[in-house]
Amino acid sequence: MNGNNKWFIRIVPLLAVLFAFMPALHAQQMNDTLKEIRIKDTRKQKVSNDARINFFSPGQKITAIDSITLQQYQAQQLSTLLSQQVPVFVRSYGFNNLATLNFRGSSAAQSLVLWNGVPLMYAALGMTDVSLLPVSLVNRVNIVYGGSSALWGSGNVGAAVMLENDAPVFDTVHKVRLSTLLSAASYAHYNGDIKASFSSRKWYLSANIFGQMAKNNFPYTDLKDSIEKMDNARLRGAGGVVQLAHKFQPGNTISLSAWYQHYYREIPPALFETVSFKQQHDASLRLLLNWDRQRLHNDFYAKSAFIRDEIRYADSAIGQRSYNITYQLYEELGWREQLNEHHRFTVFVPITFAWLQQALTTFRADQTRAAVVIAYALSAMHDRLHVAANVRGEHINSLSILLPGADASFALRPWLSLRANVQRSYRAPTLGELYSIPGGNTALKPEQGWSEDAGYTLKLHIGDRAFFTHDLSYFNRDIRDWIIWFGGAVWTPHNIASVHSRGLETENKLLIDLGNWRLHFGLNTSYVLATTLASYIPGDGSIGRQIPYTPRYNGQFNIGFAYRAFYFNYNHTYTGYRFYNSDETGAIAPYNTANIQASYTTHVGIPLKVFAQANNLWSQHYEVVTQRPMPLVNWLFGIKADIL
């Protein structure tokens, strides 16, 4: 099949979704004199500081984690929040180790994590370690599901996790705010966080500083069924985010954000190891300078970011050491125009220059990405129809690619909306995949293919006191030259000829307001088939088999209530079988975990909130990654005080 036919087949489903409803839309317009229907445009609700989410992604599934849920996880890492509240598989290598994301059967390198629009991928790893991202350092978490390489960058195949800090707040009256949070948890885990801010008519300054430490010496059962305590598992970390902003003219703001953190982690032994002397130091410096000029109908912005990531690894048992330093410069110029109430247009130019320096050798490698992105958004039919089309032309070293995409949503009824999304996907090998020592593979080919997803959202008011939402998504993705790591003593990335991913996701929530009592019920489910269609290795047994570490079934259930100043939530997660080799000859058993979050807010001169949490309440013995035991029941207690 030639390239033109492939484009035709990909675009036709989206066009069919749009044009199938044109007669109904026309009929509705003809009957407007009989009955007026008002549709609330959810895209106009500002769920993000990024216009690409608010206006240019109408057909993509977007989940915004609400502020109440974020508050319950202020003493936790992003990996815990996502694994308990979002239909995603978080691949954790242990209680004190690497944790990566698997959205819709994607690999760890195929989902992006962005901070205020800047990618946070560790160039030396080719992925983001979400166990090193404290929830307390961000104010918003949004997940944009599905491929959208045109808007978010080549490499965004599975999903994009958007971390945001609040925009600067200016006030005619000087305001000072100060709060602190302290917590203590099982296995000598202690955490502290201080937040302070100052605002005036033209200046804004905020600081958020944290520190944590833990022994992580939890009990586990070894291969001989003996109870042991985890050794070599200490953790120390500290860092923070500081933001300084100045409004020098109405609508003109310049801000500087700095995020620094440092972690020392001892890496505990796997079950097949009798002892471990591994340790790792991770240090990151992220600087972001942003200028935003807002007018009534247009907006111009410029941002410049510098990121330095340092990873030092040592295993004294075998004399192995590595010391990688990566640098990234990210520049972006953008312009947005609202032509009228129905048409929006944006153009932006992102440029990334990354280089890897191995400090123990003289080796250095670099990668340059430069792109031009054009996006157009249309709203029509009394705001019932929203359409977006976008295209990215990108140059990566010597490669040039074109990444088109289109998506749309349509409000069939005030309580029922449909959506569809078609995108071309492309991911060039990262510096870590190409040049990691040991293990890099300079012969890797880039991943490329197409992704489609479609779904609907149902929102129903049940009487005057209950509100029910139901969302269903179907997704399909075909990727050629999928990159996967496997091996023995030394793991190396290789290309799989073709991988087909498809499945279903649902999100369901019921809210009941009984005056002083507010009840909530939630259920998220995910079914994923990600199978190898073709392999470059004859007879490797992977054809038709599930990609390693991709559970077919995954789900979360929440039930709880709020009564006046008291909040309680019971969370239950289920993760199905994960195969740890390509021919499905080895699998890790499914597991359930039960988790509780509870808090009480009072006022003793100052606002005060005390909270308690329990993870793995029923002490389930389980492994996320083979031979890496996870802790049994563990508790966390804390207090937060708003001093000013």
Share of the chain above pLDDT 70, in %: 92
* Gyration radius from the chain CA atoms: 25
All residues at 6 or more sequence positions from 498 whose CB lies less than 8 Å from its CB, including other chains:
478, 479, 480, 482, 532, 533, 534
Higher pLDDT, 130 or 35: 130
Annotate 371-400 with DSSP letters as a single string. Answer: EEEEEEEEEETTTTEEEEEEEEEEEETTEE
Count helices and strands in the chain by DSSP H and E runs: 7, 33
> What is the reported pLDDT for 250?
87
pTM metric for this prediction: 0.90
- For range 98-118, the mean pLDDT: 92
- For range 93-111, the mean pLDDT: 89
Closest CA to 405 of 417, 383, 420: 420
- Tens digits of residue pLDDT in 169-202: 898 888 899 999 999 999 999 999 999 999 999 9
- Tens digits of residue pLDDT in 512-530: 999 999 999 999 999 999 9
- Tens digits of residue pLDDT in 363-418: 788 899 999 999 999 999 999 999 999 999 999 988 899 999 999 999 999 999 99
Beta bridge partners of 405: 390, 423
Do β-strands 607-615 and 634-642 pair in parallel, antiparallel, or remain unpaired? antiparallel
Q: Which class for 133: exposed (0-12), middle (13-18), buried (19 or more C-beta within 10 A)? A: buried
Q: What are the sequence ranges of the domains in the chain?
A: 37-642
Query: How far is it, in rounded angstroms, from Cα 420 to Cα 38?
Result: 23
The pLDDT mean for the chain works out to 89
- Tens digits of residue pLDDT in 319-337: 888 888 999 999 999 999 9
Block residue for tokens 């991202």: 133
Q: What are phi and psi of 363, to 5 degrees?
A: -75, 140
Beta bridge partners of 347: 335, 374
Strand boundaries in 18-105, DSSP class E: 62-64, 89-92, 99-102
Higher pLDDT, 493 or 13: 493
32-46, 77-91, 613-627: range with lowest mean pLDDT: 32-46
- Tens digits of residue pLDDT in 251-304: 899 999 999 999 999 999 999 998 999 999 999 999 999 999 988 888 999 999
Query: How far is it, in rounded angstroms, from Cα 427 to Cα 447?
Result: 5
Closest CA to 551 of 529, 574, 578, 573: 578
Do β-strands 553-563 and 566-575 pair in parallel, antiparallel, or remain unpaired? antiparallel
DSSP-based three-state secondary structure for 53: helix
b/e map 159-189, b = 16+ CB within 10 Å: bbbbbbbebbebeeeeeeeebebebebbbeb
Intra-chain end-to-end CA distance of the chain, in Å: 66
Task: Indicate the length of the chain as a whole number.
Answer: 644
Query: How far is it, in rounded angstroms, from Cα 566 to Cα 571?
Result: 17
For residue 517, give both structure tokens.
């009592």
Query: How far is it, in rounded angstroms, from Cα 16 to Cα 6?
Result: 16
Give yes or no for residue 632 having a pLDDT over 90.
Answer: yes
Q: How many CB atoms lie within 10 A of CB 608?
A: 15
Query: How far is it, in rounded angstroms, from Cα 377 to Cα 386?
Result: 7
DSSP-based three-state secondary structure for 226: coil
For residue 216, give both structure tokens.
């992580």
Query: How far is it, in rounded angstroms, from Cα 154 to Cα 109?
Result: 11
Query: How far is it, in rounded angstroms, from Cα 32 to Cα 36?
Result: 6
Query: How far is it, in rounded angstroms, from Cα 40 to Cα 95?
Result: 44
The 3-class secondary structure across 583-636, one letter per residue, is CCCCEECCEEEEEEEEEEEEECCCEEEEEEEEECCCCCCCECCCCCECCCCEEE
CA dihedral angle for residue 575, residue 580, residue 583, residue 586, rounded to 10 degrees: -80
Class of domain 37-642: mainly beta
- For range 541-564, the mean pLDDT: 94
> What is the reported pLDDT for 45?
56
- For range 141-153, the mean pLDDT: 91
- For range 621-629, the mean pLDDT: 93
Q: How many CB atoms lie within 10 A of CB 442?
A: 9
> What is the reported pLDDT for 489?
56
For residue 5, give both structure tokens.
């036919």
Half-sphere exposure of 270 (CA within 13 A, CB side): 9
CA dihedral angle for residue 110, residue 532, residue 456, residue 590, rounded to 10 degrees: -90
pLDDT band, residue 5 (cuts 50/70/90): very low
pLDDT band, residue 444 (cuts 50/70/90): very high
